[in-house]
Structure 1
Amino acid sequence: EYSRGENVPAKMLAALAKHARGVNCVAVRVAHALPPLSGRARWFSEPATDPCELSSRSDTELIEQLLSGELKSHALEAELGDALRAVHVRRLFVAAQEISPGRSNAVHSLPADGLFDVSNFYESVLGSNCENVIGFVPLPLGTVGPLHLDGHSFTVPLATTEGALIASTNRGARALRAAGGATSVLLSDGMTRAPLVECVNLQQAAALKEFCEAPDRLAELQALFSKTTRFGRLLGVKVAIAGRHAFLRFRCSTGDAMGMNMVGKGTNSLLAELLPLFPGAELISLSGNYCTDKKPAAVNWIEGRGKSVACEALIPGKVVRSVLKADAQRVAELNVHKNLVGSALAGSIGGFNAHASNLVSAVFLACGQDPAQNIESSQCLTTIEAVPTGATAEGAEPFDLRIACTMPSVEVGTVGGGTNLPAQRACLEMLGVAGAAEEAGANAKQLARIVCATVLCGELSLMCALSSSHLMSAHLSLNRKPTLK
Structure 2
Amino acid sequence: LRNWWFSVINNISCRRLWFSDLCSKNRSVDCIPHQNYDYSLVSNACCENTLGYIPVPVGFAGPLKVDDRTVYIPLSTTEGCLVASMNRGCRALQLSAGVRTVLLGDRMTRGPVVCFEDIVQAYDFKLWIENEDNYLLLKNIFNSTSRYAKLTAIDAALSGRFVYLRFSATTGDAMGMNMISKGVELVLSELQHSHFPNMKIISLSGNYCVDKKASAMNWIVGRGKSVSCEAVVRRSVVSDILKTDVDSLVELNTLKNLVGSARAGVLGGFNAHSANIVAAIFLSTGQDIAEVVGSSQCLTFLEKTGNGDLRISCTMPTLEVGTVGGGTLLPAQKACLEILGCAGSCDEFPGNNARRLSRIICAAVLAGELSLLSALCAGHLVRSHMRYNRSNLKLMKSATSEDSFLEQFSNLANRALKPKNIPPQSCSTVFM
> Normalising by structure 1, what TM-score?
0.73
CA distance in 2, matches of 1:135, 1:481: 25
CA distance in 2, matches of 1:456, 1:401: 13
The answer to whether residue 156 in structure 2 is matched with residue 239 in structure 1 is yes
**Does the 8 Å CA contact 1:315/1:400 hold for their aligned counterparts?**
yes
The answer to whether residue 241 in structure 2 is matched with residue 332 in structure 1 is no
Residue of 376, 395, 411 corresponding to 2:320:
411
The answer to whether residue 320 in structure 2 is matched with residue 320 in structure 1 is no
- Residue 5 of structure 2 is matched in structure 1 by none
* SS of match in other structure, 2:147: coil
Number of aligned residue pairs: 360
The answer to whether residue 214 in structure 2 is matched with residue 305 in structure 1 is no
Residue of 163, 171, 196 corresponding to 1:278:
196
* SS of match in other structure, 1:200: coil
CA distance in 1, matches of 2:331, 2:183: 29
Structure 1 residue 278, shift from structure 2 partner: 1.9
Q: How does 1:410-429 map to 2 (within 5 A)?
A: 410-429=319-338
Structure 1 residue 481, shift from structure 2 partner: 3.7
The answer to whether residue 385 in structure 2 is matched with residue 443 in structure 1 is no
AA at the equivalent of 1:384: L
Structure 1 residue 361, shift from structure 2 partner: 0.3
- Residue 453 of structure 1 is matched in structure 2 by 363
CA distance in 1, matches of 2:145, 2:120: 31
Structure 1 residue 213, shift from structure 2 partner: 2.2
**Does the 8 Å CA contact 2:35/2:52 hold for their aligned counterparts?**
no
The answer to whether residue 126 in structure 2 is matched with residue 209 in structure 1 is yes
The answer to whether residue 46 in structure 2 is matched with residue 129 in structure 1 is yes
CA distance in 2, matches of 1:300, 1:435: 26
* SS of match in other structure, 2:101: strand
Percent identical across equivalent pairs?
51
Structure 1 residue 455, shift from structure 2 partner: 0.3
- Residue 361 of structure 1 is matched in structure 2 by 279
Structure 1: segments with no counterpart, 5+ residues: 1-115, 390-398
Structure 1 residue 482, shift from structure 2 partner: 4.7
CA distance in 2, matches of 1:346, 1:283: 38
Structure 2: segments with no counterpart, 5+ residues: 1-32, 395-432
The answer to whether residue 48 in structure 2 is matched with residue 139 in structure 1 is no
CA distance in 1, matches of 2:141, 2:126: 17
The answer to whether residue 374 in structure 2 is matched with residue 464 in structure 1 is yes
CA distance in 1, matches of 2:298, 2:86: 17
Structure 1 residue 375, shift from structure 2 partner: 0.5
Q: How does 1:373-384 map to 2 (within 5 A)?
A: 373-384=291-302
**Does the 8 Å CA contact 1:204/1:278 hold for their aligned counterparts?**
no
Structure 1 residue 476, shift from structure 2 partner: 1.1
The answer to whether residue 139 in structure 2 is matched with residue 222 in structure 1 is yes
**Does the 8 Å CA contact 1:227/1:269 hold for their aligned counterparts?**
no
Structure 1 residue 251, shift from structure 2 partner: 0.3
Q: How does 1:48-67 map to 2 (within 5 A)?
A: none
TM-align CA RMSD: 1.4
AA at the equivalent of 2:289: P
**Does the 8 Å CA contact 1:151/1:181 hold for their aligned counterparts?**
no
AA at the equivalent of 1:188: G
CA distance in 1, matches of 2:393, 2:176: 47
* SS of match in other structure, 1:388: coil
Q: How does 1:31-50 map to 2 (within 5 A)?
A: none
Structure 1 runs (4+) deviating above 6 angstroms are none
AA at the equivalent of 2:99: A
- Higher radius of gyration, 1 or 2: 1
CA distance in 2, matches of 1:358, 1:481: 20
CA distance in 1, matches of 2:261, 2:102: 25
- Residue 265 of structure 2 is matched in structure 1 by 347
* SS of match in other structure, 2:144: helix
**Does the 8 Å CA contact 2:129/2:156 hold for their aligned counterparts?**
yes
- Residue 9 of structure 2 is matched in structure 1 by none
AA at the equivalent of 1:469: G
Structure 1 residue 194, shift from structure 2 partner: 0.2
Structure 1 residue 483, shift from structure 2 partner: 7.5
AA at the equivalent of 1:477: R
